[in-house]
Structure 1
Amino acid sequence: MDLLHRALITALGALSLVYALVKISLGYWKRRGILHEKPKLFWGNIKGVVGGKRHMQDALQFIYTEYKGRAPFVGFFACIKPFVLVLDLKLVRHILVTHAGHFTTRGLYSNDSSEPLSGNLLQLDGHKWRALHAQSLGVFSPANINKLLPRLVQISRGFQSCLGKDRLQTLNINELVDSYNVDVVASMAFGLSVDHTDFRRFTQSYWDNFSLWRAYLALEFPLLARLLKYKSYAKAATGYFQKVVLSQLQEQRKRDRQPLQTFLQLYSNMDQPLDDVQIAAQAFGFVLAGLVPLNATLSFCLYELARQPELQDRVRAEIRKTLEQRSGQLTAEGLKELLYTKQVLNETLRLHTPYPFLLRRATKEFELPGSVFVIARGNNVLIPTAAIHRDSAIYEEPLRFDPNRFDAEAKLARPEMSFLPYGDGLRGCIAAQFVEQELLVGLVALLQNHRYSPCAKTVIPLEYDNSRLVLTPKTDIHLSVERVDN
């Protein structure tokens, strides 16, 4: 009985300590005198997000709408972790561009000693990121991206032929665009040129051991997570990706004067090349940061064009005209001429922003010029890109799909930092030019000879998958696909 009594006292003491620590953490913004939404115990301001009842985008949108104009930023809690939620576009520019040196880290978890593929540009911070970023700038130069374009076009033509010659069919659009993007990443980031079945399987399973709570604890207590050798990804998948890259690099070195077709070649030919495992980590970065948002963007784009056939016909006409003027060849100059197609792509990225926020961490104290507002060293910062993209003060009728928002005159009329699908500044997407090319080339292949329209299996209105951080459809998008010859 005495033992049971002691156990109960110990348990109550532990619970009291946890409760006190939670209350202290949730009182952070109040103690600093910063405007904030009152947090819920344990959930902070994201109640319903963890359980999948609402998307993170919705939680951020609510705070952004409620407090915009009252302060340049407000306090926000993701569970018990305090964040700065930015509301003012001038402050966004300070963080991303003007004073980017104060915000060079993201605060994501990585442990490249026990999980080598986590040593990629997305996850690394500090001096490791700075050194890798400086080395990688040359890899992603505009000249190199344009040199890789013929290979990208070649892949798209193979993908286009897979659409088949059926006059009319109903297709799962998510699976369709995934086949294209997987082929691009497998070929151009990993150097694979044969069947991609295993590669596709592992791109869908590398998150198999993911636990939201374990990931959250790794972010909160990174030193402990590294001590315990916490791994973010399934070991079988990362082992496969690393093995593929190491094998491809060995094969690559046996061949002389091969044409430039892959990022592996660019990374291994740098003046100060990375070691092979580091190159494998950068290849994995294409899977980690690219596949899901690229698939979602192309799927959303076809969904919107299927619902507005007049816009779709205009895009198809522009694509055909551009190809006809260049003897059927798609070049870098030809891509620049796809002005309306790019407007459609940008409007898709605005309305269905893949990443609902940008994440930064202050490495130095930052005082907003001309104000009393201070972002303290160590503060985590959220820039709610999706909420900015749906701000009715910036975009009239923001839930309406309208590519004309991105014609030259309309863009000039909007304030800076009002469109951030690839981020901006030092930690913006280093591969943004390649990503845009991949999406545009994909749209050319999809739309040149095929028309898309809703079918009986099309879910309207579209719903998002609340269980995923990246904005993706809740159910696969099915559309009727009709072949339309020239």
Structure 2
Amino acid sequence: MEYLLTMTGTSIWETLNLFFLPGLILGVLYLYLTATFDYWLKLKVPFRKPAILFGNFRDLLLFRKSQAEGIKEMYNWFPNSRFFGVFRVRSPILILRDPELIKAIYVKDFSCFTNRGIPVNSQDPLSAHLFNLEGKRWKGLRSKLTPLFSSSKIKRMFYLLAECHDKFEKLIEASGGVVEVRGLAAKFSIDVIGSCAFGIQMNALTNEESEFHRAAKKLSVPSYKSALWRMLRTSLPGVYRFLGVQVINPEVTVFFKDVVSQMIKQREQEGGRRHDFMDLLVELKNKGFLEGDYATGGTAGGDDDDKADDFVLDENIIAAQAFVFFVAGHETSSTTIAFCLYELALNAEIQKKVREEICDAIEAADGKLTYEAVHDMKYLDKVLLETLRKYPLAPILSRRCEYPYEIPETDVVLPAGMRVVTPVYGIHHDPQYYPSPDTFDPERFSEENKATRHPYTFLPFGEGPRNCIGMKFALLQTKIGVISFLRHHKIGINDKTAVPIKFSRRNLVTTSETGFWLTLSSLE
């Protein structure tokens, strides 16, 4: 009997353990995941009830909606609020709606919101680029790289862009018919970046097996895994660092590091100057400063005691900057060109007006594509700005609060570490600022119409000291790409054209899920 009681007692204890321990673990996990869910309630900030594991980002984290669609929906939750709160997993995030508040955070109070809060780990060396770097490292590099993107520097390299334009026109002529224009534009943008940034003839227009072309393909293929890690690394930075996640394709990392190492050795041995991006980086690596006309261009902003000269470049840092210049210059320009052509295919009168302006400007320049001719194409400027308004490639902008910050005209104090997000896509599609926002109307960007809007309702390149450093070059490259398509061809839609366009749910930038299939036909 005693034996049976002992066995029975043991069985009961084991049974209790079987249910108690998992229940305890789940209970602790539940408390951890929901412990912050009363955060915005305590601050009396408008918010929506979050869901466990996902917060308010279920559809985005499960890839049910694109970033653009999810952000637009979120933006419209509280139409009468200057800001509101959300949760990503368990992390509270402040969403901005008021342009004046956006201006305060991105410019007036920039010192409190200097960083984006994107963690970098040693296993992912190419992620340590200008976009992600923080504090003195960011400021030092930004100050050193700014001169490269001056108007005089860009004008000097225009002949390289013109050469790429000439070759691209021939490729377009040979393509004709139904084509996926983003893929075609990508070949042009790869050649431009290779020529202007690195002094390399990549021949991407004719050689799809080039190493750079293969690298671009690996980077442009959307991945659920990498997209998920990019979204989670800002909400779970500790886990990101602990696991040593490598978001960038390892093969691409090895390729860029090897190419940059070889190029540095070649430049140092040969001497001379090609006046390109790599020249600048090699000079900064060896001297720590720039000479001659490179030595001007402004500063990155911030505190005076953050000395830019404290920043030292090594080969890994150079490789990271080369990588981000290649990715940003290639993907953003080709996608913007594709979105622009898509809208022009749907709006024949606007397309005709752009083409007439292009032809008139080139004819006035004796039939040549010159820097001045492109600069004079003001209607094309409006068309590109409206393209970036309707399809901002970055649907959100993000900053991290560096010290306690009291939101102007409120008693709400944000703690250090709080993430503040600007829903660019939502603002760009707010009828309060852009009536009939789904209509493509370049005249929104006439001087008269721009004067009626708050300047911080148009944010395709960010704002403040941390805006896009290559904005001028990107716009020029994109204009030339559009000119190459329109000068001798009409753009139309066909049975493969997605109308309306369907955004990719796996890509963090705004792009098409199915491609940009359009018809190119020669002018009669």
TM-score class, shorter: over 0.9
Say if 1:441 and 1:17 are closer, same or farther in 2 by CA, change over 3 A.
Answer: same
Q: Secondary structure at the match of 1:108?
A: coil
Distance 1:348 1:48 in 2: 26
Q: Which residue of 1 aligns with 2:53?
A: 42
**Comparing 195-204 with 302-311, which one deviates more in the overlay?**
195-204
| CA drift at 1:226 | 3.3
Distance 2:438 2:232 in 1: 36
Say if 1:369 and 1:400 are closer, same or farther in 2 by CA, change over 3 A.
Answer: same
| CA drift at 1:5 | 5.3
Say if 1:171 and 1:366 are closer, same or farther in 2 by CA, change over 3 A.
Answer: same
Q: Which residue of 1 aligns with 2:135?
A: 126
Q: Which residue of 2 aligns with 1:180?
A: 188
In structure 1, what residue type is equivalent to 2:162? V
Q: Secondary structure at the match of 1:139?
A: helix
In structure 2, what residue type is equivalent to 1:177? A
**Comparing 441-450 with 286-295, which one deviates more in the overlay?**
286-295
The answer as to whether partners of 2:101 and 2:408 remain within 8 angstroms in 1 is no
In structure 2, what residue type is equivalent to 1:192? I
- Deviations for 1:61-119, whole angstroms, at most 9, x for unmatched residues? 2232231333x2110122322111001010000011111111000011212x3332121
The answer as to whether partners of 1:191 and 1:245 remain within 8 angstroms in 2 is no
Q: Which residue of 1 aligns with 2:269?
A: 254
Say if 1:219 and 1:368 are closer, same or farther in 2 by CA, change over 3 A.
Answer: closer
In structure 2, what residue type is equivalent to 1:205? K
| CA drift at 1:411 | 0.7
> Which of 162, 165, 182 in structure 2 is aligned with 1:153?
162
Distance 2:401 2:163 in 1: 43
The answer as to whether partners of 1:188 and 1:263 remain within 8 angstroms in 2 is yes
Q: Which residue of 2 aligns with 1:380?
A: 419
Distance 1:212 1:3 in 2: 43
**Corresponding position: 1:169 with 2:177:** yes
**Comparing 121-130 with 215-224, which one deviates more in the overlay?**
215-224
**Corresponding position: 1:266 with 2:280:** yes
Q: Which residue of 2 aligns with 1:203?
A: 216
| CA drift at 1:213 | 4.7
The answer as to whether partners of 1:46 and 1:56 remain within 8 angstroms in 2 is no
- Deviations for 1:358-405, whole angstroms, at most 9, x for unmatched residues? 010111222233332333321101001111111101111111001111
Q: Secondary structure at the match of 2:350?
A: helix
In structure 1, what residue type is equivalent to 2:288? Q
| CA drift at 1:223 | 4.5
| CA drift at 1:451 | 0.9
**Comparing 32-41 with 270-279, which one deviates more in the overlay?**
270-279
The answer as to whether partners of 1:343 and 1:404 remain within 8 angstroms in 2 is yes
In structure 2, what residue type is equivalent to 1:161? K
> Which of 213, 238, 242 in structure 1 is aligned with 2:253?
238
- Deviations for 1:194-249, whole angstroms, at most 9, x for unmatched residues? 44422121222247694445445543443554344322212111110111122122
In structure 2, what residue type is equivalent to 1:173? V
Q: Which residue of 2 aligns with 1:463?
A: 502
In structure 1, what residue type is equivalent to 2:154? I
Say if 1:401 and 1:142 are closer, same or farther in 2 by CA, change over 3 A.
Answer: same
Distance 1:194 1:379 in 2: 43
| CA drift at 1:484 | 1.9
The answer as to whether partners of 1:45 and 1:76 remain within 8 angstroms in 2 is yes
Distance 2:15 2:317 in 1: 53
Say if 1:328 and 1:25 are closer, same or farther in 2 by CA, change over 3 A.
Answer: farther
**Corresponding position: 1:28 with 2:39:** yes
Say if 1:190 and 1:80 are closer, same or farther in 2 by CA, change over 3 A.
Answer: farther
The answer as to whether partners of 1:300 and 1:352 remain within 8 angstroms in 2 is yes
> Which of 410, 415, 419 in structure 1 is aligned with 2:449?
410
Unpaired runs of at least 5, structure 1? none
In structure 2, what residue type is equivalent to 1:145? I
Q: Which residue of 1 aligns with 2:63?
A: 52
Distance 1:267 1:310 in 2: 45
Percent identity between matched residues is 28
In structure 1, what residue type is equivalent to 2:279? Q
Distance 1:9 1:292 in 2: 52
The answer as to whether partners of 1:68 and 1:88 remain within 8 angstroms in 2 is no
TM-score relative to the length of structure 1: 0.93
Distance 1:190 1:225 in 2: 32
Say if 1:333 and 1:3 are closer, same or farther in 2 by CA, change over 3 A.
Answer: farther
**Corresponding position: 1:76 with 2:63:** no
The answer as to whether partners of 2:36 and 2:90 remain within 8 angstroms in 1 is yes
| CA drift at 1:26 | 2.4
Number of aligned residue pairs: give it. 481
Q: Secondary structure at the match of 1:426?
A: helix
In structure 2, what residue type is equivalent to 1:253? E
In structure 2, what residue type is equivalent to 1:139? L
Say if 1:164 and 1:244 are closer, same or farther in 2 by CA, change over 3 A.
Answer: same
| CA drift at 1:330 | 3.0
Q: Secondary structure at the match of 2:511?
A: coil
Distance 2:239 2:161 in 1: 43
Mark the structure with the bigger radius of gyration.
Answer: 2
> Which of 108, 120, 130 in structure 2 is aligned with 1:98?
108
Say if 1:7 and 1:192 are closer, same or farther in 2 by CA, change over 3 A.
Answer: farther
Say if 1:377 and 1:68 are closer, same or farther in 2 by CA, change over 3 A.
Answer: farther
Distance 2:214 2:456 in 1: 37
**Comparing 193-202 with 416-425, which one deviates more in the overlay?**
193-202
The answer as to whether partners of 1:60 and 1:387 remain within 8 angstroms in 2 is yes
Say if 1:472 and 1:318 are closer, same or farther in 2 by CA, change over 3 A.
Answer: same
The answer as to whether partners of 2:334 and 2:478 remain within 8 angstroms in 1 is no
Q: Secondary structure at the match of 2:464?
A: coil
In structure 1, what residue type is equivalent to 2:103? R
The answer as to whether partners of 1:209 and 1:233 remain within 8 angstroms in 2 is no
The answer as to whether partners of 1:451 and 1:484 remain within 8 angstroms in 2 is yes
Distance 1:63 1:195 in 2: 43
- Deviations for 1:6-53, whole angstroms, at most 9, x for unmatched residues? 454332222111110111122221232221122122222222222222
**Comparing 7-16 with 397-406, which one deviates more in the overlay?**
7-16
The answer as to whether partners of 1:83 and 1:380 remain within 8 angstroms in 2 is yes
**Comparing 185-194 with 1-10, which one deviates more in the overlay?**
1-10
The answer as to whether partners of 2:40 and 2:47 remain within 8 angstroms in 1 is yes
In structure 1, what residue type is equivalent to 2:282? S
Unpaired runs of at least 5, structure 2? 1-10, 205-209, 290-312
The answer as to whether partners of 2:33 and 2:89 remain within 8 angstroms in 1 is no
Say if 1:165 and 1:230 are closer, same or farther in 2 by CA, change over 3 A.
Answer: closer
